[in-house]
Amino acid sequence: MRIHPLAKTSAVALAILGASSSANAGGYEFPGDGARAIGRGGAFAARADDPMAVVVNPAGLAAMPGTQIWASAHLSSAKDCFTRDHPGVAADGTTETAPRWPAGWGQDASGSRIAYTQVCNDESRRFTPIPSLGITWRVSRRVGMGFALIPPNSQLGQRWGSNAYTVTTTNGSERGYQGYVDAPAGSAAAGSNPLVPLDNGQSLLPASTRFQLVERTVLVAYPTLAVGAKPFRWMQIGAALGWGVADVRFVTNIRNLVPGEEPNVLEGQAVAKGRDWFAPRLIVSVHFIPHDNLDIVGVFRWDDAIRASGDLEVALPAIDNGVDAGLNTLRGSSTLVAPRPWWLTFGIRYADRVRPRPDDPDAPGRQSGRVEDPMTSERWDIEANLVYERSRQVESLDLEIRGLEAEQGSALLPPGGVNGTVGLRHNWQDQLSLRLGGDWNAIPGKLAARAGFSYETSGFTGIGSKASKGGTIDFMPLQRFGLHLGLTGRIKRAELTGAFTYFWHTTHHNRNGGTEQLVVDPFTGVQLPGDTVNNGAFSSRIVVGSIAFRYFFKGWGGRVSAFR
């Protein structure tokens, strides 16, 4: 089929691979809100005895003593890698016989085509702080409230490819493109193509991940207000409302309708930036106490999609070359729509108690003159949480494009610029997460040790399935195992907590496609398929160090008591 050149070039600007919002549970977040929770494997829903109860189990606020402030931070470092094993597609539409670059990108030391190499997020592996703040207070003997500022538990940024390459346009201008990797030793030039680094004295190749993602930066926080009440001695209820604020930036490569991956002036790079000032979150929980030593909890969390609106820029050599001087950047506006899973958590906890639970959470402290909570009233506890994540909500991440036009004009673009919606298929599947952990109060009221284990099924395959449904590198919902350790020390009313966690993910081999280069004909609004870009091996490792400080104030409900 012969495509009109105008339709071809217009479609280039729409071939933008969007990515997601914040987040790694269900691909977005790892388990454990706060240093105490992550130290016990994220098994914290039924205990929930620090200000992170605001998001973990707001019903727990009903039993939390006094007024408390909390500051915590995870320091997270992730090594994510992708090895593409899908053969490259040549310009004439034929497929290579091996996962290697088509002709035009150069040759290896033996004179053969260059094989794809593993690409990792090496430039973004530094430890990233994930801070959280919280405060809780008592309203009455049976009601407690809390407020917290909480980001998702995930890496804030990723960069795939460790180098950049500068392309010189026909009018002498220069433009830098991110997402390049070192070429194998001995690689040689293919000819004299200005788009090929090897032809210009640089040992670089574009990363094989560039059509999935080049770079992302995601800053998201959820200011959250919660209340917990105890209508009966054996039951607590709670609810929380959060309003997410997001600032996102995504960089990815684009491709026109011409098949293949050979060097082409119609391959470019897109940068989407945007903010969402209100992404609501709702959490409700019910906490049963059938026995003084036993807690049973159910928690439901719903997150609305992130809808980040802002600027869109697209750089293509073809558009730059079409003017007499300078760069001819395409500029417009866009909205990135990223769905988020909802969660359903079931938790059960057994505690070896030293004394019965008080009906008034502040009464024991008023009598003893010290902080009284599970760290003083229990010898040890053990907890199990089962979390169901509706990850199939993340079927596609869409980029809505409005008025994308060339700064210096271009006869290759339709009047009014490019408008439309493109979607990057993710096809995540539902997941189950098991979290086991507990505390041992080595010195009651002064020193507590904890440990835990966590497991999560793969969102690439789904519960009970071995067949890949797709996925991309922006957020990888791999099958995950976690080992967790933590320690808390308390002096009078001040408390310091530390934790260490190692997450190991099984390598996932995707051979069923599911995600393609995205191309849209702007004149018909039809999104056409491109080449498969996500066949290959996905792997990830995450190391998390956590620290938290908590302080207990005297009195309750703002009233100073005999608390000494």
**Model confidence over 408-449: pLDDT tens digits?**
988 777 788 888 887 777 788 899 999 999 999 999 999 999
- What's this model's pTM, rounded to 2 decimal places? 0.87
Q: Is the pLDDT of residue 224 over 60?
A: yes
- For residue 94, the model assigns a pLDDT of 59
Which tens digit of pLDDT belongs to each residue from 349-359?
Answer: 999 999 999 99
Could you report the per-residue pLDDT of 189-211, keeping only the tens digit for each?
Answer: 888 888 899 998 899 999 888 88
> Residue 441 is encoded by which pair of tokens?
């109060």
The yes-or-no verdict on residue 322 having pLDDT over 90 is: no
Q: Is pLDDT at 543 greater than 90 in this prediction? A: yes
pLDDT grade for 3, boundaries at 50, 70 and 90: very low
Report the share of the chain in percent with pLDDT over 90. 47
Percentage with pLDDT > 70 across the chain: 85
State the pLDDT at residue 9. 37
Using the structure block, give the residue that is written with the tokens 């409900």. 557
Average of per-residue pLDDT values in the chain: 84
Per-residue pLDDT band at 257 (split at 50, 70, 90) = low
**DSSP states of 546-561:** EEEEEEEESSBTTB--
What is the pLDDT at residue 409?
Answer: 86
Q: Which of 110-119, 268-277, 355-364 bottoms out in mean pLDDT, i.e. has the lowest?
A: 110-119
The CA distance from 446 to 443, in Å, is 5
Q: What is the pLDDT of residues 469-503, one digit of tens each?
A: 667 777 778 899 999 999 999 999 999 999 999 99
100-154 tens-digit pLDDT = 887 788 888 888 888 888 898 876 667 778 899 999 999 999 999 999 998 887 7
pLDDT of residue 204: 92
Confidence of residue 19 (pLDDT cuts 50, 70, 90): very low
Least confident of 127-141, 227-241, 370-384, 418-432: 418-432
Cα three-residue angle 432-435-438, rounded to 5 degrees? 170
Burial class (CB in 10 A: 0-12, 13-18, 19+), 55: buried
47, 488 in Cβ contact below 8 A? no
pLDDT of residue 2 exceeding 60: no
For residue 89, name the pLDDT band (cuts at 50, 70, 90): low
Task: For Cα atoms 436, 441, 447, give the angle at the middle one, nearest 5 degrees.
Answer: 115
Q: What is the pLDDT of residue 557?
A: 37
Check residue 107 and report its DSSP letter.
Answer: B
- Quick one: average pLDDT of 279-303? 97
The model's confidence at residue 331, banded by pLDDT at 50, 70 and 90, is very high
In this predicted structure, the answer to whether residue 68 has a pLDDT above a threshold of 90 is yes
Q: Which of 154-163, 165-174, 522-531 has the largest mean confidence? A: 165-174
Q: Which of 282, 280, 202, 212 is nearest to 251 (CA)?
A: 212
Torsion of CA 224, 230, 236, 239, to 10 degrees: -20
